[in-house]
Structure 1
Amino acid sequence: MTGRGIDQVFPHPCPPHLYEPYVRDARDYVALAEEVNGPIPKPVGLDYIWGDALAELERRAPDVRLINLETSITTREEWWPDKGIHYRMSPAHVACLTAARIGCCALANNHVLDWGYEGLRETLATLRSAGIATAGAGTHLEQARTPAVLDVPGGGRVVVFSFGTRSSGIPPEWAAGKDRPGVELLPDLTLATARHIGARVRAIKRTGDLAIASIHWGSNWGYQVPSSQREFARTLIDEAAVDVVHGHSSHHPRGIEVYREHPILYGCGDFLNDYEGIQSDESYRGDLTLMYFVTLEPTSGRLLSFRMTPMQMRRFQACRASSEDSGWMHGVLDREGRRFGTRVTLEGDGSLALHWS
């Protein structure tokens, strides 16, 4: 979520005016963050927000770097009416994504059209010009449904599908149409929908390819995972040849399941946002975030290892979490994962390891 307050600390921010019920100036979010953790050295460099995450990415050296980009990248002024929150980042700041060598942005979420259809067009064009693949949104339905295909060094590909659901707050008018920009909005979480996705996955997936279903679903807060989500995620693995279910919308991490040796992330939590200083339920620790490093066997998609690095947002920057905070995150993920048959251990380097039977 690199828009709004975060955009304001970069060198060339969008105009700060907002159309929210309580906050009318995006710079107020900067002030709230500074009240908690001290001054932000404005303007910051475009790699600033990643902080310690850049070194961790270099150490882990993932073949593919995937994010859910929950903001519009535009200077358009036509905000979406009857919607309380509007995120946007200036196109001049797209290098904040290339600084971390992001390879793909999943876009089927409830903020990518905050600044209208033309704002979405500019978002897509900006990401394309930066060499970043997209999935889940387009200038028409066919483009929104087209997966991102990412080549992996040494052979094979990762195919990324991105889907949104009404439960995450996506307005129904955002569904892409034959001649209308928008996102791929799932009609429901039924077996028929999963099989329809499966036909599309099998039409493009080749031997040695891995398929990811990135889904924006559910509430912002709480650890409960609805049975409909769990059944649909498992059905995507059983019926749709999906290897990883990458779920998001919750502002904090939720429990992780491994089903038939394939990982299901029900809620990744936010990695970057401008919520620092905003009062929320402390039991969720929204300031703590995770980097997820998933290793799969390329010919079968079987999960080989699953590591996580706890981070903390301070002054709009991702910093390595303290040993105490890493221990807190370990306890939560281990507790929540047990209902799915997984457990988590805290490793000597402060990272977390997922275990499954």
Structure 2
Amino acid sequence: MGDVTLLLGGDVMTGRGVDAILSRPAPPDLREPAVRDAREYVALAEGAGGPVPRPAPPSWPWGDALDLLAAAAPDVRIVNLETAVTGRGTHDPAKTIHYRMHPANVTTLTAARLDVCTLANNHCLDFGPVGLADTRDTLAGAGLAIAGAGPDATVAWRPAVVPLVDRRLLVWSVAAPSAGVPPHWAATADRPGVAYLPAVCTASADALAARIAAVAGPGDRIVVSVHWGTNWGYDVPAEHVAFAHRLVDAGVDLVHGHSSHHPRPMEVYRDRLVLYGCGDLVDDYEGIGGHEEYRPELRLLWLPTLDRATGRLRGLRAAPVRMRRLRLERAGPADARWLADRLALLTVDATGLLTLRG
């Protein structure tokens, strides 16, 4: 029946400083304690890495990642989009950090030929229901499938559907409070919001599995994308492991975890891949110190290959990149080895990719 290869990206934050270098930035005003203008993040990046063109072309943030993806040729490309796509709305007063990208800059997402943007995270409602509606409309208008947030709970809990050759790939997107998602962002029958997990536990996994069973057919491949956990550290909470295992036991083929700013451990459980933290992919964090021991400038393009008929993991590659000048560049051999040493199931192959041991 053949295989299907996915691109799984971590958090893509094309708002704030990234949006500020593109052709039509959203209003740059911020509500952060130390930074009040998004363009200050561009200045920090330039101080760390060198000049950044303004305006930059839509493909600029992806840089060398586009060539790496062209060579890898994934069948489906999935990222967690951690920004509102709007020029309107007001800053959520309950939060201090807000991300938005102007809808005209959606070409930055289509430049990477993305298929699915998951939205259940702690930034999709930074500019309220108006911003969320603009985000959904803009992404849909650009041909991107979305999951995880909507005008009500029915839509928020609906999966993205990607046709494969002879079946479907269904992608659910959910978010947990441990990743900073405000409880009042939970979608209800009459309130816009996200597909919200009040707790990461076996009970919530069973409830999600029941939702999946009500929609998925016997031949569908199933991905659950979950925004959870803290920003830093390599420890994986026991409840995350139990949650992921419960989903796999219920028939989920892959768990796509994110929120941490650097890659966290991964696992192969019952021949299914569990990524507990993909790490950031695109952001404006250059020049911000404080967590250098985690090398947050290093990123991975996760490229698992699944058996299309069974969902079993057939292989895993991860292409190492690094952020400089708000642009992804190929990472060198030393950086690839550094990443592999911290992700014990992976090793560096002759091409410089990280691959699954054994």
TM-score by length of 1: 0.95
In the TM superposition, 1:288-327 aligns within 5 A as: 288-327=298-337
Q: Does 1:244 align with 2:254?
A: yes
1:193 paired residue among 204, 211, 222: 204
Q: Measure the CA separation in 2 of the matches of 1:98 and 1:169.
A: 28
1:114 paired residue among 107, 126, 137: 126
1:28 paired residue among 33, 40, 50: 40
Q: Measure the CA separation in 1 of the matches of 2:181 and 2:131.
A: 16
Q: What is residue 2 of structure 1 aligned with on the other side?
A: 14
Q: What is residue 215 of structure 2 aligned with on the other side?
A: 204
Q: What is residue 333 of structure 1 aligned with on the other side?
A: 343
Q: Measure the CA separation in 2 of the matches of 1:196 and 1:254.
A: 26
Q: Measure the CA separation in 1 of the matches of 2:129 and 2:175.
A: 17
Q: Which has the higher contact order (CA 8 A, sep 6+)?
A: 2
Shift of 1:84: 1.4
Aligned residues of 2:89 and 2:130 also touching (Cα < 8 A) = no
Q: Measure the CA separation in 2 of the matches of 1:93 and 1:330.
A: 34
1:235 paired residue among 234, 246, 250: 246
Aligned residues of 2:337 and 2:347 also touching (Cα < 8 A) = no
C-alpha root-mean-square deviation of aligned residues, in Å? 1.0
In the TM superposition, 1:1-357 aligns within 5 A as: 1-152=13-164, 154-239=165-250, 241-334=251-344, 343-355=345-357
Residues 111-134 of structure 1, C-alpha deviation per residue, up to 9 Å, x if partnerless?
Answer: 000111111111111111111010
Letter aligned with residue 230 of structure 1: V
Query: Aligned residues, how many?
Result: 346
Q: Measure the CA separation in 2 of the matches of 1:195 and 1:14.
A: 40
Q: Measure the CA separation in 2 of the matches of 1:165 and 1:194.
A: 12
Aligned residues of 1:18 and 1:26 also touching (Cα < 8 A) = yes
SS of 2:293's partner is helix
Unaligned 5+ residue runs, structure 1?
Answer: 335-342
SS of 2:314's partner is strand
Letter aligned with residue 108 of structure 1: A
Shift of 1:315: 0.5
Aligned residues of 1:308 and 1:353 also touching (Cα < 8 A) = yes
Aligned residues of 2:77 and 2:114 also touching (Cα < 8 A) = yes
Residues 232-254 of structure 1, C-alpha deviation per residue, up to 9 Å, x if partnerless?
Answer: 10001112x11100000000000
Shift of 1:207: 3.5
Q: Measure the CA separation in 2 of the matches of 1:134 and 1:86.
A: 20
Shift of 1:300: 1.3
Residues 210-264 of structure 1, C-alpha deviation per residue, up to 9 Å, x if partnerless?
Answer: 100100000000111100001110001112x111000000000001100000000
Aligned residues of 1:207 and 1:299 also touching (Cα < 8 A) = no
Residues 55-100 of structure 1, C-alpha deviation per residue, up to 9 Å, x if partnerless?
Answer: 1111111111000000000011411003110000000000111111
